[in-house]
């Protein structure tokens, strides 16, 4: 079973999702725009992510190109389910109630939530 990404791995996943596929150098350059990080750190993280089943890689020329192993939606679904199970004991209702009470949701956001609920009935 594939593991869900850690916070640092998620940062890398977001870059690769945005680019569709990327080399270590591509990810390193994007991450350097935000903070200081070593190239070798990015390379190590991406190798770990491949071993966890989060990435697939192929050789193009002299560089490995990494692609997400699963669609973004599937990875996010796994992360949300893991969070709901860990924090809310599996209760999606408790998560939604918490969000509604703690965040000032706009009318538009509430309408989208209602619409999603109606579509699931």
Condensed to tens digits (0 to 9), the pLDDT of residues 15-52 reads: 999 999 999 999 999 999 999 999 999 999 999 999 99
Q: What are phi and psi of 53, to 5 degrees?
A: 85, 10
pTM for this prediction: 0.81
The pLDDT tens digits for 1-16 are 568 899 999 999 999 9
What pLDDT shows up at residue 1?
A: 54
- CA 85, 86, 88: angle at the middle one, nearest 5? 65
CATH architecture of 7-68: Orthogonal Bundle (1.10)
Domain ranges of the chain: 7-68, 72-120
Strand partners, 63: 60
| Pairwise CA distance, residues 115 & 71, whole Å | 24
Q: Of 61 and 104, which is predicted with more confidence?
A: 61
Distances from the Cα of 81 to the Cαs of 7, 67, 74, in angstroms?
16, 23, 11
């Amino acid at each position: 079973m594939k593991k869900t990404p850690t916070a640092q791995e998620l940062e890398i996943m977001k870059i690769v999702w945005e680019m569709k596929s990327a080399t270590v150098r591509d990810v390193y350059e994007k991450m350097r725009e935000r903070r200081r990080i070593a190239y070798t750190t990015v390379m190590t993280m991406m190798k770990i992510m491949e071993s966890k089943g989060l990435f697939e890689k192929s050789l193009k020329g002299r560089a490995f190109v990494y692609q997400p192993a699963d669609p973004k939606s599937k990875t996010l679904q796994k992360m949300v389910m893991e969070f709901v199970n860990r924090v809310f004991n599996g209760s999606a209702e408790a998560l939604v109630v918490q969000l509604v009470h703690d965040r000032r949701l706009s009318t538009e956001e509430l309408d989208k939530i209602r619409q999603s609920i109606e579509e699931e009935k």
